[in-house]
Amino acid sequence: MDEKIDLRPKAKEYCGVFGVFGHDDAARLTYYGLYALQHRGQESAGIVSSDGRFLHEKRGMGLVPEVFKERDLAKLHGHIACGHVRYSTTGSSILANAQPFIINHAGHSLCVGHNGNLVNAASLRRKLELEGSIFQTSMDSEIVMHLLARRIHLGFEEALLEALQELRGAYCFLFMTEDTLVAARDPKGFRPLCLGRLGDSWVVASETCALDLIDAEFVREVEAGEVVFIDKRGLRSVKPFPRQRHSHCIFEFIYFARPDSQIFQQTVYQVRKCQGAQLAKEYPNLEADFIMPFPDSGNYAALGYAMASGLPFEIGMIRNHYVGRTFIQPSQDMRDFGVRVKLNPVRELIQGKRVIVVEDSVIRGTTTRARVANIRRAGAAEVHMLVSCPPHRFPCHYGIDFSTKGELIAANHTVDEIRDMIGLDTLGYLSIDGLLEGTHTSKEGFCLACFDGNYPVPIEECEGKFALEKC
């Protein structure tokens, strides 16, 4: 059997959502929106549409253009659509866990797409199962559907608002019935979610880059703790939660969100440049011939560092943009093939030079070590690395895939040890204060738990929770 190399990103965020209300070609617009959000999930994709009477669905494993063909979009009738792209953890890359997830109950249909992670999922699921609920998937997203169904006698809106009160953790939900689209964001606002307009139609998306692709106008963010109902009467906002201190995920700015998106009221591109400029302030005496990123993740921080330091900016490694998620492993004598097939150094540029590599993060360290070794083999005289965020020392329980300390190199090693393990002459991380300075905001508005271990929503039962899948 051919051995395959995993070429997916070094850290994964678990989902992206996109919805349309009031457009005759809602499913096609949703397809385009998911295409723009592909970076948020590359395992599966799905679209559910409604013509006002029935829901129509298409879900599949793979990238958006692999899942949907023209014939599929033609069958997704209706003026409402809900779309989803998803990453999955080991063992869960199956169609049953692809979203949007549909239930049929009391003569009506309802679907949900979810970005985030519920920290009380295991306890809720155990309670529901003891009371007779039967689950079809391993996703925490299904839990909210059971909570809602048990209250549906109150009416859809009241049932949904009561169900959301039981959830703890990070979520951006898109719900859709035969005639209504609903967007809901958790009270701390961990993940981004925005509203847009396209003519008379409403659009909901995880990031503004998806609005740009369909030429929709950005209206505003869905507020933390807000539930937005959109139907034939228009848009209506409900705020059922007491106001809480925001805990926006700082890693959205560092790595996950597309640089052309505006999230948490700031443009990602500019924030990443500012993070690089902060690195130049914190490490002003590092001597080198030029600055280079590992494309594409380090590009914007490296540019900011170069502009602030006055050192030349070069693209010392060239990215192959046509590499898929996996590649068949060649013979063992081709060292680090999985690294070189994606990024290859420019030898004539690097040979004999002192190089500063600016990277956005170092999570597990394995990919970084291989890339640094590649630069060494290209003849670099010195290799220094600056990272535009602090060391990741604590697991994330709110929807990112580093869920245990054992996966995090900085949780188990000092900076000097990491430097030696990766094979660097110098290794420096941006401080937490420098990171926040780069976002032009205070510590109060962000979740920094992966850096400082201060979890804004208590983790009630980590061991049991991770038996379920993040979404």
Least confident piece of the model among 125-129, 300-304, 381-385, 389-393: 125-129
Q: Which of 214, 247, 280 is the last residue of a domain?
A: 247
CATH number at residue 384: 3.40.50.2020
Residue 142, H or E segment = helix 141-149
pLDDT at residue 342, rounded to an integer: 81
| Residue 104: count of CB within 10 angstroms of its CB | 9
Strands 446-447 and 248-249: parallel
What is the residue range of 416's domain?
A: 270-441
Same domain for 315 and 210? no
Q: Are 351 and 318 contacting, i.e. CB atoms less than 8 angstroms apart?
A: no
Cis ω before 458 (30° cut-off from 0): no
What is the domain count for the chain?
2
CATH number at residue 25: 3.60.20.10
Strands 382-387 and 354-359: parallel
Residue 209 is assigned to a ligand binding site: no
Same domain for 60 and 194? yes
Backbone angles phi, psi at 139, to 5 degrees: -90, 145
**Does the pLDDT of residue 469 top 90, yes or no?**
no
**Does the pLDDT of residue 91 top 60, yes or no?**
no
Burial class (CB in 10 A: 0-12, 13-18, 19+), 355: buried
Mean pLDDT of 158-168: 96
pLDDT at residue 266, rounded to an integer: 94
Same domain for 303 and 221? no
| Two structure tokens written together for 218 | 């950005």
Same domain for 382 and 336? yes
Distance CA 139, CA 92 (A): 9
Q: What is the band of 333 on the pLDDT scale with cuts at 50, 70, 90?
A: low
pLDDT tens track for 356-387:
999 999 999 988 999 999 999 999 999 999 99
**Does the pLDDT of residue 404 top 90, yes or no?**
no
Q: Higher confidence at residue 73 or residue 5?
A: 73
Residue 172 is assigned to a ligand binding site: no
Cis ω before 296 (30° cut-off from 0): yes
CA distances from residue 322 to 36, 319, 326 in whole angstroms, order as listed = 17, 9, 11
Same domain for 281 and 223? no
Residue 48 domain-assigned? Answer: yes
Residue 459 domain-assigned? Answer: no
Residue 226 domain-assigned? Answer: yes
Residue 366 domain-assigned? Answer: yes
Residue 471 is assigned to a ligand binding site: no
Same domain for 190 and 324? no
Q: What is the band of 338 on the pLDDT scale with cuts at 50, 70, 90?
A: low
Would you give the distance in Å from CA 130 to the centre of its chain? 33
Residue 460 domain-assigned? Answer: no
Residue 371 domain-assigned? Answer: yes
Same domain for 178 and 113? yes
Residue 262 domain-assigned? Answer: no
Backbone angles phi, psi at 270, to 5 degrees: -65, -40
pLDDT at residue 399, rounded to an integer: 84
Provide CB contacts within 8 A for 211, sequence distance 6+: 33, 194, 196, 203, 205, 217, 218
Mean pLDDT of 317-341: 63
Mean pLDDT of 157-167: 96
Least confident piece of the model among 84-98, 148-162, 386-400: 84-98
Same domain for 193 and 331? no
CA distances from residue 76 to 16, 62, 311, 455 in whole angstroms, order as listed = 20, 19, 53, 41
DSSP-derived 3-state class of residue 368: helix
Same domain for 336 and 276? yes
Same domain for 292 and 228? no
Helix runs in 166-248, H state only: 208-213
Distance CA 40, CA 135 (A): 26
Residue 462 is assigned to a ligand binding site: no
Q: Which of 176, 222, 227 is nearest to 195 (CA)?
A: 222
CA angle 351, 356, 358 (to 5 degrees): 130
pTM for this predicted structure: 0.90
Q: What is the band of 108 on the pLDDT scale with cuts at 50, 70, 90?
A: confident
Residue 96 domain-assigned? Answer: yes
| Residue 52: count of CB within 10 angstroms of its CB | 11
Mean pLDDT of the chain: 89
Q: Which of 180, 212, 247 is the last residue of a domain?
A: 247
Provide CB contacts within 8 A for 256, sequence distance 6+: 13, 39, 40, 249, 400
pLDDT at residue 403, rounded to an integer: 59
| Annotation says 82 is catalytic | no
Same domain for 142 and 200? yes
Q: What is the band of 9 on the pLDDT scale with cuts at 50, 70, 90?
A: very low
pLDDT tens track for 111-123:
999 999 999 999 9
**Axis-axis angle for helices 156-165, 141-149 (nearest 10):** 130
pLDDT at residue 340, rounded to an integer: 67
Active-site option among 15, 111, 194, 209: 15
Q: What is the band of 176 on the pLDDT scale with cuts at 50, 70, 90?
A: very high
- Long-range contact list for 415-422, CB < 8 A, 24+ apart? 415/391, 418/362, 418/365, 418/391, 421/365, 421/369, 422/362, 422/365, 422/368, 422/369, 422/372, 422/385
**Does the pLDDT of residue 207 top 50, yes or no?**
yes
Same domain for 286 and 149? no
pLDDT at residue 330, rounded to an integer: 52
**Does the pLDDT of residue 328 top 90, yes or no?**
no
